A and B are shown apart, each in its own frame.
Chain A
C-alpha cells in the first residue's frame, strides 16, 4: 500500500528525518511542508536526498504556500510544488499518510 509521507521539519535541523527515506517504499510520495521547505532554497542541500528518492522511485513534492510564506525559491526541477488541492490529491491518491 503506497504512502504519502509528510515531513514538517527542516533538513538542516532534523537530518535524521531525511535518513528515514530508508523506511519508504517504491511508489510512495513525500510532501515537504512547513519548515521542510527550507531545504529548497539551496541547490545542493537536498541533492543527495532527491537522488536517493529517484533511485527508490519516490516522488517529491513541496507545499507552494509554505515556500511563499518563507520566501523560498525552489531550486529543484524534480520537486513539484503543489497547492492545498494538490495536498488533498496526494492524500486521496495514496492508501495512507505518515507524518514524519
Chain B
C-alpha cells in the first residue's frame, strides 16, 4: 500500500516526529511504501539541520534523512510554513539575502499542492499532530 504522511508537530517540543518516524519505518518493514512525508505547520522545524541534540537523544533531522535515504522517500517542507518559521535552503538564502540557510539538503521545499498531490494519489494519508 502507498501511504503519505503529514507531520505537523515541532522537532524536540513534540513526540510527533518520533511517532511518525517509527510508524513510517514499520510500514516500510511490512512492505508498504511511504511516497512522501510532508512537514507542515511547526513540523517544518524537523528539516533544520542546525538543530543539536546530545549523543544519546533522538535527532529528528538526522533520523528523517537516514530513513528517506534507506527507503527512497521524498521529504518536503511546506514553503510558506517554513519561511515564516525561518527554515530556508541555500537558494532561498541567496534570493532573500539571509545570513544563513538551515534546511537540510535532503528536504525539498514545495507548496501545499505537493501535500494534496500525495494525499490524492496515496491509498492512505496519516497525519501526526
Check whether chain A touches chain B (CB < 8 angstroms).
Answer: yes
Which of A's residues lie within 8 Å of B, judged by CB? Answer: 8, 33-34, 65-66, 84-85, 87-88, 91-92, 96-99
Contact: B15 with A92, CB < 8 Å?
A: no
A97 neighbours in B (Cβ, 8 Å): 124-127
9 interchain pairs, CB-CB under 8 A:
A84-B23, A84-B25, A84-B26, A85-B30, A87-B23, A88-B32, A91-B126, A92-B124, A97-B124
B127 neighbours in A (Cβ, 8 Å): 97-99
The one of A33, A91, A92 that contacts B19, using a Cβ cutoff of 8 Å: A33
A65 neighbours in B (Cβ, 8 Å): 22
Q: Is the interface of B mostly helix, strand, loop or mixed?
A: mixed
Tell me which residues from 15 to 59 in chain B have a Cβ below 8 Å from any Cβ of chain A: 15-16, 19, 22-23, 25-27, 29-30, 32
Tell me which residues from 86 to 116 in chain B have a Cβ below 8 Å from any Cβ of chain A: none
Contact: B3 with A91, CB < 8 Å?
A: yes
Q: Contacts A33-B19, A88-B32, A92-B1 known; A99 to B129 CB distance under 8 Å?
A: yes
Q: Is the interface of A mostly helix, strand, loop or mixed?
A: helix
Q: Give the shortest distance, in Å, between B7 (CB) and chain A (any CB).
A: 10
* Nearest residue, chain B, Cβ from A34: B15
A91 neighbours in B (Cβ, 8 Å): 3, 23, 27, 124, 126
Count class of interface residues, chain B: 10 to 19
Q: Give the shortest distance, in Å, between A47 (CB) and chain B (any CB).
A: 26
CA gap between A88 and B3 in the complex, in Å: 10
CA gap between A59 and B12 in the complex, in Å: 31
The one of B15, B19, B23, B129 that contacts A88, using a Cβ cutoff of 8 Å: B23
CA gap between A66 and B22 in the complex, in Å: 12
Q: Give the shortest distance, in Å, between B36 (CB) and chain A (any CB).
A: 15
B25 neighbours in A (Cβ, 8 Å): 84
Q: Give the shortest distance, in Å, between B80 (CB) and chain A (any CB).
A: 21
Contact: B23 with A92, CB < 8 Å?
A: no
Contact: B26 with A85, CB < 8 Å?
A: yes
